Chain A
């Protein structure tokens, strides 16, 4: 015992020390612990970041510097250098997302030159190796309205600006690239033949002019000192009787100025005359360019054939022959609307071509190929614009599925009528389990193919993320590695207000998981429904469904049908209801929908009912959230489908319970409306979506609403910009029933059978940052704390405990569970989830529960993708990351050895004593 008390002593000293410093507040702060930061060795352990640049607008090979790079400028206003070998981003500059960041010109010479903005323009020079800004000057044009038609290029170290005035003249100005000084004034070249179908193939400006049937092709070198117009009748090149004539298209990034007439004939401008290429365009949609391959010029064409797949042809202009070694026809690859961005070819020792072709596609993918069409790398730039995403569970492994079906009561009753068959089945499963175990021990686990490896792990941390992008490309991505498992391009999908539903998880073998994407048709705006298996990316069930009406609202049925599939219910603009699959229509019961008109502030509710034949929708309520005047719904927040309610109330300091108003049908609307006295007024309204009853509302004067609102359980939070104080504020609301419970425990809540209004607690806080995305963390059973994740414009993702945002915070009365009120929210840098991995242009934060109660999975979308996992109440159900398994095993082993050896020695001692 003496030894025991000795080992206890240090602990007591620690306790003493602790108590010495103790203060109840400190204890409380330690409970909600703010140190969400990670250790240095944990960087990249649970998280990853992928950097993207967006759809490529301009690209050029950097041939000057020794490091092989591709310099790109994108639609997302990003200037970046990509590694030629791997395609990774070497350096990147993200400009303003507004029109002031638009990149008008990219020129790669000794230094990189860019022209950005839209009158005034910024001309900048960058060092290609490091991406450092070398020089910058501004350029403002006098003629602001015409400025949009400006054309830019660099020639002989001069920046040339061309401003065509249709039907009148061309204005050409040359500037010194480094300083911006222009020698002499703008030269005005008379060109009455100038029309809106003209093309620029620097330095030639080419037009088709004249009456139908007798058009003339005109071309002018705008930079030469002598005005010299090349003009030829169009009928010299094409048969005007067969086509309308006069449609010009410039060659994509060609070394020789040239253009395509009527998507057919390729004309080059050489020595002040037109020269027709001996080969016509193979496909109307083909992208064509002329490259300088050693001592001959080669015309390259690429297009996507419906049957033959990706096509690439090469034709030598000087020798009038096909260059077979560059050509390619690959039915397996699909590059929709392929377009040459940059091509570089060299010819070593006369024989072999070595080409690098940078090809852009309609699905925003960037491909680098070599001669013969072999792909070196591909960048999926569609991922720079992720609209929405869904986390999908992986299926269990075959052995586990067998066990599950064995213990599934219904299944078991069907298959195993007798005890003996059940017993033999049990033995069989155990035998296979044993086999697996032995195989694992031997380390001979059979080489599994990639789809087989996608099985659920014990804690359900491994999932598949289905990402929907603005370009209409859908990706299946592994959440742990960030690897793309499958991709699917839907050209007709408009993803403006797209929704994704997991209609069947992978939990129901033998049925596969089932995900449905509801979007709009790009051309007509009608409904467009895609159903696929999220594990493999293959279409299932309804496949792609093009409706002939617009969709007002869609939802999933609560109850699954006999195949465990949740039916998709669509309400279209004629207020008719469609149910997929149609066999699930009788299951529609107690289903309510709401439709909010964004521009007017009108919200309507519908009750859906099956009448024996079909499902019909009855309009049951309508409110006008902005009143009779103009108003706009800026944000709508509904609870997540994965959200659960953990407890009916919260304990107060006096040991009484404050019951929460846990209505599952609540929706928060944030409405902005102009006001004659207060400029803009923001009204936040909490509605019951079933009855249309208002349960709480508050208004902010002189404020602008932001499309950021979140809701979970009885908590609401939304952001707005206070115009009066010129700052961002976050307002929170909480609904409570009060000290007494309205319903008996266990009684189901009904929106129709309640006319009592809950007490609304409200509070507002200053947010000392600008937020671009907001979300609540979700855990499996909502037992862990709830945190708010805010994506800031600085590129950080901040985690704020709800305790800081609580609406009851600041109530006097000595409630120890509440923090004293502070008007400004603390945003410590440790609370940043993505430490130093900045996520540019955060657009959305998506959360999903893991199988572990403590953990919530987080995906941040924007220009970059960032994935991590958070533990709002710390990892109480998980051993520490650096848990020392070896030490504890050694200690246990040593203890066992010590026990038995002391036993042996004790018995020997006893024996010796007995002999005495």
Chain B
């Protein structure tokens, strides 16, 4: 069995919102090519630090029998389910379940996107698998090798702090406006036309219309 290593650096602009850091271990299991059980091992994802977000993904490669079973699922428009067991430094195992359409998974050359949603206190609330939006409509995708590596992208998504009603800056804004009004430095340096167009246009229209409606009295028709 060959191991596929994928190192993904997840750079997050607001990873500072996390008030906790620790390791995370995710055990992945799937529902294909398992002899008697419902789920069997697919791989493992481990993180040394949630804050850094760099993950080591260690997964099996699919063999012919995996592909055949996936194709069976795909034929009946079935689902490929992944069960994940998340363990962190201070909590016991939490189970998550996620499914993708087997057909789409095959069409996307066995690549998927794994996202783990993490609360500010470091708790994982969801682990979801999604397949890339299907760019290839290539149904005749050939699977004729002996082994097929899985392409997984792992992302850590943080539950952000929600905004709070911002009263301080609003009051500051009002203060600023008031000061500006007191100083009277709201100088209007627009052109004359830009400033008073709303007065000029109606007058112009008015003049035009009264010009049309009172034409020169037509000369009396001579008989």
Q: Please report A residues at the B interface, Cβ cutoff 8 Å.
A: 1-2, 4-5, 8, 12, 15-16, 19-20, 22, 604, 607, 618-629, 675, 677, 681, 683-685, 691-694, 697-701, 722, 725, 729, 731, 742, 752-757, 762-766, 810, 821-824
Contacts and interface: CB of A to CB of B under 8 A. Distances in A.
A692 B117 CA distance: 12
A624 B160 contact: no
A763 B163 contact: yes
Interface in B151-166: 157, 159-166
B159 A697 contact: yes
17 contacts: A5-B210, A607-B99, A621-B98, A624-B94, A624-B95, A683-B119, A685-B126, A691-B99, A694-B128, A697-B160, A698-B160, A700-B162, A729-B165, A753-B131, A755-B133, A757-B157, A824-B167
A315 to B, nearest CB: 69
Contact of A621 (B19, B97, B161, B170): B97
Interface residues of B, number: 53
B115 interface: yes
Given A622-B97, A694-B115, A699 B126 contact: no
Interface stretch (B22-30, B46-54, B60-68, B198-206): B198-206
Contact of B94 (A627, A754, A822): A627
A8 B119 CA distance: 66
Interface string B81-100: 10000000001101111111
B120 interface: yes
A4 B131 contact: no
A477 to B, nearest CB: 40
A893 to B, nearest CB: 29
B101 interface: yes
B150 interface: no
A754 B133 contact: yes
A675 B20 CA distance: 13
B34 interface: no
A621 B202 contact: no
B171 to A, nearest CB: 9
A343 B94 CA distance: 63
B197 to A, nearest CB: 10
Given A2-B213, A625-B125, A629-B91, A699 B160 contact: yes
A92 to B, nearest CB: 37
A691 B124 contact: no
Contact of B157 (A620, A627, A694, A755): A694
A12 B94 contact: no
B98 A691 contact: yes
Contacts of A693: 98, 115, 128, 130
Contacts of A5: 209-210, 213-214
B161 A618 contact: no
Contacts, number: 167
A620 B164 contact: no
Contacts of A12: 202, 205-206
A722 B164 contact: yes
Given A624-B126, A753-B133, A823-B167, A19 B198 contact: yes
A692 B92 CA distance: 22
A43 B120 CA distance: 52
Contact of B97 (A619, A722, A823): A619
Given A5-B209, A691-B99, 15 more contacts: A19-B198, A607-B79, A620-B97, A624-B94, A624-B125, A692-B97, A692-B99, A693-B98, A693-B115, A693-B128, A694-B128, A753-B101, A753-B104, A762-B163, A764-B165
A12 B120 CA distance: 62
A692 B128 contact: yes
Contacts of A8: 209
Nearest to B210: A5
Contacts of A764: 162-165
Given A2-B214, A675-B121, A754-B133, A698 B162 contact: yes
A875 to B, nearest CB: 30
Interface of B: 19, 79, 81, 91-92, 94-101, 104, 112-113, 115, 117, 119-121, 123-128, 130-134, 157, 159-167, 170, 198-199, 202, 205-206, 209-210, 212-214
Contacts of B19: 677
A752 B130 CA distance: 7
B207 to A, nearest CB: 11
B25 to A, nearest CB: 14
A675 B19 CA distance: 12
Contacts of B101: 752-753
Given A620-B81, A624-B125, A627-B125, A701 B97 contact: no
Nearest to A590: B77
Most buried by B among A628, A698, A762: A628
A621 B121 contact: no
Nearest to A671: B125
B117 to A, nearest CB: 5
Top-4 shortest CB links A-B: A627-B123, A755-B130, A698-B162, A5-B213
Nearest to A724: B164
B76 to A, nearest CB: 9
A623 B202 contact: no
A20 B19 CA distance: 56
A722 B165 CA distance: 10
Nearest to B118: A627
A483 to B, nearest CB: 45
A701 B199 contact: no
Nearest to B198: A19
A620 B126 contact: no
Contact of B96 (A622, A729, A754): A622
Given A607-B79, A698-B161, A699-B159, A621 B213 contact: no
Nearest to B81: A620
A822 B171 CA distance: 9
Contacts of A762: 160, 162-163
Most buried by B among A618, A621, A757: A621
Contacts of B100: 691, 752
Contact of A16 (B128, B133, B202): B202
Contact of A22 (B79, B120, B165, B198): B198
Given A19-B199, A697-B160, A699-B160, A755 B94 contact: no
Nearest to B105: A752
Contacts of A698: 159-162
Contacts of B123: 626-629
Given A2-B214, A624-B96, A701 B119 contact: no
